[in-house]
Amino acid sequence: MKRYVYINDDELSHNLYCDNRISNRKYTILNFLPKNLWEQFSRFMNQYFLLIACLQLWPLITPVNPASTWGPLILIFAVSATKEAWDDYNRYLSDKKANEKEVWVVKDGIKKHIQAQDVHVGNIVWLRENDEVPCDLVLLGTSDPQGLCYIETSALDGETDLKTRVIPSACMGMDFELLHKMKGVIECPCPDRDIRRFDANLRLFPPFIDNDLCPLTINNTTLQSCYLRNTEWACGVSVYTGNETKLGMSRGVPEPKLTAVDAMIDKLTGAIFVFQIVVVVVLGIAGNVWKDMESRKQWYVQYPIEGPWYELLVIPLRFELLCSIMIPISIKVSLDLVKSLYAKFIDWDEEMVDLETGTPARAANTAISEDLGQVEYILTDKTGTLTENKMIFKRCCIGGIFYGNENGDALKDSELLNSVTCGSPDVMRFLTVMAVCNTITPIKSKNGSISYKGQSQDEEALVRAAAQMHVSFINKSTNILEINFNGIMVQYEVLDILEFTSDRKRMSIVLKDCKDGKILLLSKGADESILPLALTGQQTRSFAEAVEHYAQQGLRTLCLAWRELEEDEYIEWSLIFKEANSSLVDREWKVAEVCQRLEKNFEILGVAAIEDRLQDGVPETIETLRKAGINFWMLTGDKQNTAIQIALSCNFVSPEPKGQLLLINGKTEDEVCRSLERVLLTMRITNSEPRDVAFVIDGWALEITLKHYRKAFTELAILSRTAICCRVTPSQKAQLVELLKTCEYRTLAIGDGGNDVRMIQQADIGVGISGREGLQAARAADYSIGKFRFLKRLILVHGRYSYNRTAFLSQYSFYKSLLICFIQILFSFVSGVSGTSLFNSVSLMAYNVFYTSIPVAVNVLDKDLSEKTVMQHPQILFYCQAGRLLNPSTFAGWFGRSLFHAIVVFVITLHAYASERSEMEEVSMVALSGCIWLQAFVVAIETNSFTTLQHLAVWGNLVGFYVINWIVSAIPSSGMYTIMFRLCRQPSYWISIGLIVGAGMGPVLALKYLRYTYRPSKINVLQQAERLGGPILSLGSIVEAPQGRVANEKDMTPLSIITSQAKNNRNPVYEPLLSDSPNATRRSLGSGTPFEFFQTSQSRLSSSYSRNCKDN
C-alpha cells in the first residue's frame, strides 16, 4: 500500500488521513466503566468471585450477609479501577499539552500560528531553532545554504548526539520565498514503526522542476518529538500525523510477562479450587443425608414435607459460598501493590546510581521483580554492555607493516609518524579512508576547535586518530568534504554513500577529487566482508594475520580498502543505483545487490585495531553471579577471537588447562554437523568440570544449526553453562533466548543498543544499559541500569528479597483464608452439616480487609539476611532459583498449618464456650480472637528483621482489633452489643486465648527449633553467624566434598553449598525454609543433583535433556 501526499494542498488528503491529534488514552468518559469492568472480569478469579457474590444474593442459600463478599469485591475493583483511571488521566494531560502546542504552518502562501493537533497531511510546517517537531516531516528547506539541519533524537531513540538531516536534492538551491508556494507529490509507504527507514519518492510540479523523480530516505526526514538544534529554521511537509507517526506507531502496551511465582500461584489456586469442589460435594451430600435422616426428628427444625425441585442444591450451594474464601479475594491486589513497592525500592537505591553520569536504576516493569531472584541464564551483549564503548585507536597494519606493537599505541609509533611526515602513499591513503569514509559530522566551536559527532563510536575513533596524524576532517558542507593534509586543504565531492548494513557488514563512499577529477571508492568493514573482495593477485595473508593477531589481544578490527573508478563505469552504475534507491518495494535488498556490483577488485590498504576497555567491576560481577549458579552466554557481532579474549578477561571461562573451549564452525551443513557432533561428544565424555567448558559458534554456523540441527543444539545448550556466539544478528540473539525459554529456563537478556532490543523483549527479564549507544535498549527493557556491575545488586539483593517476600505473602494469604474456612467446615459438623456460618458478615469482611492485611503489608521490609551477607555469599541464590520458598511442598506446609490451627481454635473454643449460657456471637468472637492472635505470632516468627514499623503493624494490629470491636460492641444495632465487653471481663476468655496460642504455636516453634538446631539450612547458618557477630564457617566445617572430586582453592568459597550425594541421588542442599520438601528439585535440571555444575556424573545430562528439552 502507498500513500500520496500532496505538498501544500491538505484538502486532497483531509478526509483520507487523520489529523495530528495525539491520543494515548485507553478510555473515554463514556466507555471507562464498561471497558474497565470487562477487563477486570476477563480474569478467571474475578469471574469466580462475581459468581459467588451473585449467589449470595439468593437469601435461601447464603449463610452470611452478601456484604461480606460484595464489600471486598467492590473495594478491590475500585482500587484497580482508580489506578487505571489515574494512569489514563495522566496520559490525557500529557496528550493535551502536546496537542495544544502552537506551531507555524503555511496556509495559502502565508505563515500562520495553529495548534499542533490541527496540522494535516500535506501542510508545510515551519520550525525554528529548539522547536519540537510536531509530526513526521519531509524536509524541503533549511537556513543552511547547503540544505543541512541538525536534530536531537533523544526523545525518539535515546541517542543524545546530534544527527544531520539534509533536504532532498530536488529542493537544493530553492529560493526562500518559493518554499511558501511549493507544489508536488510524495509517494511513500503506509505508516510503520521503523524509525530507521523511510523509502519514498518526491516529484515536484512545474515550474519548480520538470517532474523529475527524487528518491527520499530517512536522512531527508525529521520525525515527531525530535528537536531542531543549531539551525535557525527549517521547513517540511507533513507525511504522517497523530497516532500514525513512526513514534505513534511504536507506542503500545507490551505483552505482560508471567513470572514463575505467578505461574506457581495459578497452579496452587487451581489445586485449592479442586479441593474446594471436593469438600463442597462431600459436605453437600452429607448435609442432604442428615437433613433427610436426622433433621426431621428434631422438633426445632421445621423443614417442609415437600420441597422445591432445587432443594438438593441448597446445601451444596451454601457450602460453596461458605468455602469460597479458600481462595483469597485480595491476593491479586495485594501482590500488585507490593510488587509496585519492590520496583520503587530499585528506583530509590542510591547504590545503583552511576556516579559518572548520574544515571539511576529504573524499573519500568513493576510486575516481575521476584523473577530477578530466579534467573538461571544471562545472555549479554559485549560492546557497550561488558565494555565501555569508548573506542580508542590503538594499532594498525598498513601494507603489511605493523605499527604500535612495541609501545601499544600506533599514534606514538615513530615509524608511523615518520611515514606521515614523508607522505608515504600507502599511509596517506589509509589515513584518508579513516578520515572520510564515515557518517561523522565535524562541528567547529567558537574557539576554532573541531569536535566530531556521529552514531558510530568506531568511526569517531578513526576520525580522531587520523586528525592526530595530521589528516583532519575539518568541514562537511552538502556534498563537499574538506580535509587538511599537513596544512594542505583538499576537497572531495561526495557522489554516493553506500551505507552500512548488518548483512553487508561494510560501508563505502564514492568520492570525486575536486583537484584532479578522479573518482574513488573508499570502503571499510569486517575482514570477512572486505578481504574476499581484494583485487585478483593481491596478497591478503598478512592482513588476515594482522586481524587474527589483534583479535587475540581483544581489539576490534576494521579492514580499509579503496579503488579508483572509471568515469564510464561509475555513470553506468549510478543509474542503476538511483533506480534501486527509488524503489518503494524491497529497496534495501535492491540497493545491497547494486552495491555488490561496485564493491569489488579492492586494493586492501590495511587493518585498524580499536580498543574497547572493559567496564569497571565486570569480571567481579560475572564471577559472583556464576557462583550464584547463573549461566552466561555472550552474544556479539564481533570476531571470534576478539570475543574469546574478552570472555577470558571478564571471567566467562577459565584459561587452559582448567578451561576448555569447543569450537563449532563450518560453512556447509555437513561441516557444521560434524563440528556439532564432535563438540557434543566431547561435552558428554569430558573430564573437565562443566562450569569450565564453553562452546563457541559464529553466526553462519548458528544459522545452519538453528535451521537443521536445532534439537542437537538444544542438548548442547543444556550441557554447557557458557557459550560465546560471534557474528550474530539481532534476530539470532532473539532466537537463542527463545531456545533457552523452550527448555523452561528463566532468562535475563542485557544490552545497550538498538540491536539488542529484540533479545531484551524476548527474554523473561530484559535489562537495558543507559549507554553511549542511546536509550533504545533501556526504554525497551523491564529494568535499566547505568553500568553492568549493578546487575549483581539487582539480582542478588532486589531479586532475592522480592522473591522471598512474595513467596511468604502469597502463601500467608492462602493460610489466613484456609484457617477461617476450616473453622467454618468444622463448625458444620456440630450444626447439622447445614452450611451455617459461625462468623457474622461484618467480622468476615473485617477479617479479610483489615485484621490480617496490615501485619503482612509491612513484610515488604523484611530481610532474612543483610545485604552485605547476601553479596558475600551469592550461593544462597540457589534457594530462589530452585523455587524452594514457594512450591507444592511448602504450600502443603502452610495448608497443614492452617488445618492444625483451625482444629486448635475450634476445639478450645467449643469446649470453653459451647454451653447453654453462651451466645453464638460469643463463640464466634472467641474463635475470631484466636485466629487474630495466632496470625500475629505466625507473622512474628516468620519475620526475620523486625523494625519499629513492623512491631507497630503486628502488635498494633492486635490492639486495633480490640479497639474496633469495643466500638462495635457499644452500638446496640450492630448485632454484637456488649459482646466484647463481657468477654474481656471473663478470665475464661483470656485463658482460652492463651491455650490457643500455646497449643497452636508450641509445635510450630518446636519444629523450627529442631530443624534450626539439627538440620539447619545454609541460610540458617548465615543468620546465626550474623546474630552472633562471628565469622562464617568455612567450607570444611560445613560440608564434605563429593567423592571422586578434589576440591581446589577456587572451590573453597566461604560458604559452598556442595554436599555429598543423598539417597536416590538427591541433594539435601534444598533445605526448605518454611517446610520440608525433600523431593522437590531444581526445575529443568533432571533427576540428578540439582546443581549440575558441582557433579561429575554424566547420566544426569541425557536425562535432563530428554525430560526438559522440547522437540523443535
Query: 532-548: per-residue pLDDT in tens?
Result: 999 888 888 999 999 98
**Among 44-58, 247-261, 357-371, 1055-1069, the least confident range:** 1055-1069
Is the per-residue pLDDT at 1054 higher than 70? no
What is the average pLDDT across 283-298? 75
Query: 116-128: per-residue pLDDT in tens?
Result: 888 999 899 999 9
Distances (CA, A) of 572 to 592, 594, 598, 829: 17, 11, 11, 97
Q: Strand, coil or helix: what is 4? A: strand
Query: 317-326: per-residue pLDDT in tens?
Result: 888 888 888 8
Are the beta carbons of 909 and 926 closer than 8 angstroms?
A: yes
Angle at 249 (CA atoms; ends 8, 756), nearest 5 degrees: 130
What is the average pLDDT across 721-745? 89
Tell me what pLDDT residue 1067 has.
31
Is the per-residue pLDDT at 1075 higher than 60? no
Is 29 or 253 the better-scoring residue by pLDDT? 29
Residue 26 pLDDT level (bands cut at 50, 70, 90): confident
**Among 185-194, 480-489, 490-499, 827-836, the least confident range:** 827-836
Residue 364 pLDDT level (bands cut at 50, 70, 90): confident
Scored b (16 or more CB within 10 A) or e, 1075-1105 reads bbbeebbbbbbbebbbbbebbeeeebbeebb
CB atoms within 10 A of CB 488: 8
Residue 656 pLDDT level (bands cut at 50, 70, 90): low
Cα distance between residue 517 and residue 373, in whole Å: 65
Is the per-residue pLDDT at 20 higher than 50? yes
**Among 455-469, 643-657, 753-767, 927-941, the least confident range:** 643-657
Q: Kind and range of the H or E element at 165? A: strand 163-166
Closest CA to 321 of 786, 752, 691, 835: 835
Sequence-distant (≥ 6) Cβ neighbours of residue 210 within 8 angstroms: none
- Sign for the CA dihedral angle at 957, 958, 959, 964 comes to positive
Residue 1079 pLDDT level (bands cut at 50, 70, 90): very low
Is the per-residue pLDDT at 1065 higher than 60? no
Cα distance between residue 131 and residue 234, in whole Å: 10
Average pLDDT, the chain: 81
Is the per-residue pLDDT at 211 higher than 70? no
Cα distance between residue 823 and residue 134, in whole Å: 64
What is the average pLDDT across 626-630? 90
1095-1096-1102-1103 Cα dihedral, nearest 10 degrees:
-40
What is the average pLDDT across 274-280? 90
Tell me what pLDDT residue 209 has.
65
Highest mean pLDDT among 48-52, 720-724, 844-848: 720-724
Give the max Cα distance, the chain.
Answer: 122
Residue 1031 pLDDT level (bands cut at 50, 70, 90): low
Is the per-residue pLDDT at 787 higher than 70? yes
Is the per-residue pLDDT at 1071 higher than 50? no
Cα distance between residue 543 and residue 455, in whole Å: 27
Is the per-residue pLDDT at 1002 higher than 70? yes
Is the per-residue pLDDT at 376 higher than 90? yes
Residue 82 pLDDT level (bands cut at 50, 70, 90): confident
- pLDDT over 70, % of the chain: 86
Residue 298 pLDDT level (bands cut at 50, 70, 90): low
Is 206 or 370 the better-scoring residue by pLDDT? 370
Tell me what pLDDT residue 304 has.
60
The alpha-helical segments, DSSP class H, found in 373-442 are 414-422, 425-436
- Say which amino acid occupies 601: N
Is the per-residue pLDDT at 1104 higher than 60? no
- Looking at residue 1039, what DSSP letter applies? -
What is the average pLDDT across 821-844? 84
Is the per-residue pLDDT at 1077 higher than 50? no
**Among 370-384, 671-685, 1069-1083, the least confident range:** 1069-1083
- pLDDT over 90, % of the chain: 27
Cα distance between residue 444 and residue 447, in whole Å: 8
What is the average pLDDT across 944-949? 83
CB atoms within 10 A of CB 96: 11
Is the per-residue pLDDT at 1106 higher than 60? no
Cα distance between residue 404 and residue 381, in whole Å: 28
Q: Kind and range of the H or E element at 545? A: helix 541-552
What is the average pLDDT across 724-742? 89
Is the per-residue pLDDT at 1042 higher than 80? no
**Catalytic residue annotation:** 381
